[in-house]
Amino acid sequence: MIRRALQKIKFEYTSFVARDPARAPLYWPNIWWQQYKIWRHYRDEGASPGACFVSSDTEFVLDGFQGSANSFAAAAFQASQERQVAMAHHMHAPAQIIKAVRKGIPTLVTLREPVGTVLSVTSRWPYISVQQALRSYVGFYEKIGPYRRGYVLSTFEETTQHFGRVIQRVNDRFGTDFDVRDDALERMKAKHGPENPSATERHERQVLKTEKADELESLDCAELLRDARDVHRRMKASVK
């Protein structure tokens, strides 16, 4: 019980400090931890030691709220490139997106509708409440909204079904020459292998999603859900 309470507090804290560049130093420990996990998982493939940091060496930034196909997009992009691209990803931090925009670094932001996003996040990390996830979702996209001209936005459907088109939009927007592959999904699976969670894991995740879906329908979440849907609508309307 105490551990779960501390995890909830940590999520609330990191969501808050990740939004503003002025609070960036407070978020660095979380980025270092993310970087360590990425390095540990992909070290045999030459994972960049700075994959979670936006720096002068960064060639491409890919980020978005948790549960919006960030992992899919990062893996698909890496599998599609013929060379190693210095990419910053899995930061889940508006402050890092803003930093990239200010530096003029090619940036792709993923976007998923709030219900699917929240169910994905809260079923993966059950200690996060639906209300917490909704508040963080709204805060994330509201913060980067004013910087919309500085990045390409990709919906969940585009990211997972037409990723080659998304990268072409990045190239068109920033004048880059990243490799565009229509078979990004197939290449990713060939390189990383398909995800095969056990039947028990799938069942447990589905049970949690059902519980969280019921919570989403509660009156306590009604206003937050309206706010999240409004933010999503406004962000999606800006996709070109």
Q: Is the pLDDT of residue 48 over 60?
A: no
Q: Is the dihedral of CA 200, 202, 203, 209 positive or negative?
A: positive
**Domain residue spans of the chain:** 2-237
Question: What confidence tens digit (pLDDT) does each residue in 171-223 have?
Answer: 999 999 999 987 766 766 665 555 666 677 777 778 788 888 888 888 889 99
According to the model, what pLDDT value does residue 39 have?
Answer: 66
In whole angstroms, what is the distance from residue 143 CA to residue 139 CA?
A: 6
**CA 229 to each of CA 58, 63, 84: distance values in angstroms, whole numbers, following the listed order:** 32, 20, 37
User: Is 146 or 16 the better-scoring residue by pLDDT?
Assistant: 146
Mean pLDDT of all residues in the chain? 85
According to the model, what pLDDT value does residue 217 have?
Answer: 83
Question: What confidence tens digit (pLDDT) does each residue in 75-86 have?
Answer: 899 889 999 899
Which residue has tokens 């948790």?
A: 66
Cβ atoms of 216 and 115 within 8 Å: the answer is: yes
According to the model, what pLDDT value does residue 235 have?
Answer: 95
Q: Is the pLDDT of residue 22 over 90?
A: no
pTM: 0.85
Four-point Cα dihedral 180, 185, 190, 196, nearest 10: 160
In whole angstroms, what is the distance from residue 211 CA to residue 218 CA?
A: 11
Q: Is the pLDDT of residue 232 over 80?
A: yes
Instruction: Please state which CATH number belongs to domain 2-237.
Output: 3.40.50
- Helix extents (H) in 87-129: 94-103, 114-124
